[in-house]
Amino acid sequence: MNADLPPEPVHDVVAEMAGECVMMRSRLISRVVTGIYDQELRPFGINSPQFALLVVMVKMGPSSRAEIGRYHHQDRSTLTRNLKIMLSEGWIEEVPGAAGGRARPMAVTRAGRDLLAVLAPSWREAQKKARVLLCEEGVQAITKLANGILKPAPAV
């Protein structure tokens, strides 16, 4: 309001940050929740980020790194590296003669789909634990939020 007032005490500023920062809370939740799923998925040799990417790719169908990045809000370079690991695991593959020519769409393999089917019970176990931690209310809020990010208002 008034730029000439003395700066507010650092203590107050930090109290405001500690009490309200959305980023701190988002990252905290992400860390804790990721840990829950990593624990359940570990026996299958796949981790949380890889599982997420695999599911997104099944959902999207054959897609280029750039397309996946736009939908999943990840940098192209991140996908170049993460997909390389998933390729070597045989969960995904490059679709041969697809797309115009510059892009090289990737798709989930049969092995990738089978893996998802096999680990489904463990994933549900993790879901259950997450629900306990976040309560049904929290789960719904997060679901709604994320869906809003994934499906931005279509250009009319």
Binding test (CB under 7 A) with DNA, winner from 82, 109, 122, 127: 82
In the chain, DSSP finds a helix count (H) and a strand count (E) of 6, 2
Judged by CB under 8 A, the stretch of 7-15, 87-95, 97-105 that binds its own copies is 7-15
| Per-residue b or e along 21-60, where b marks 16 or more CB atoms closer than 10 Å to that residue's CB | eeeeeeeeeeeebeebbeebbeeeebebebbebbebbeeb
Binding mask 31-50 for DNA (x = CB under 7 A): x--xx--xx-------x-xx
Provide φ and ψ at 92, rounded to 5°. -135, 165
Judged by CB under 8 A, the stretch of 80-88, 89-97, 99-107, 123-131 that binds its own copies is 123-131
Report how far apart the first and last C-alpha atoms of the chain are (Å, whole number). Answer: 38
What is the closest distance, in whole angstroms, from the C-beta atom of residue 101 to its own copies in the complex?
29
Binding test (CB under 8 A) with its own copies, winner from 2, 4, 73, 101: 73
Q: Which residues does 18 contact at the CB level (< 8 Å), separation at least 6?
A: 24
Question: Applying CB under 7 A, which residues contact DNA?
Answer: 27, 31, 34-35, 38-39, 47, 49-50, 53, 64-67, 73-78, 80-82, 85, 100-105
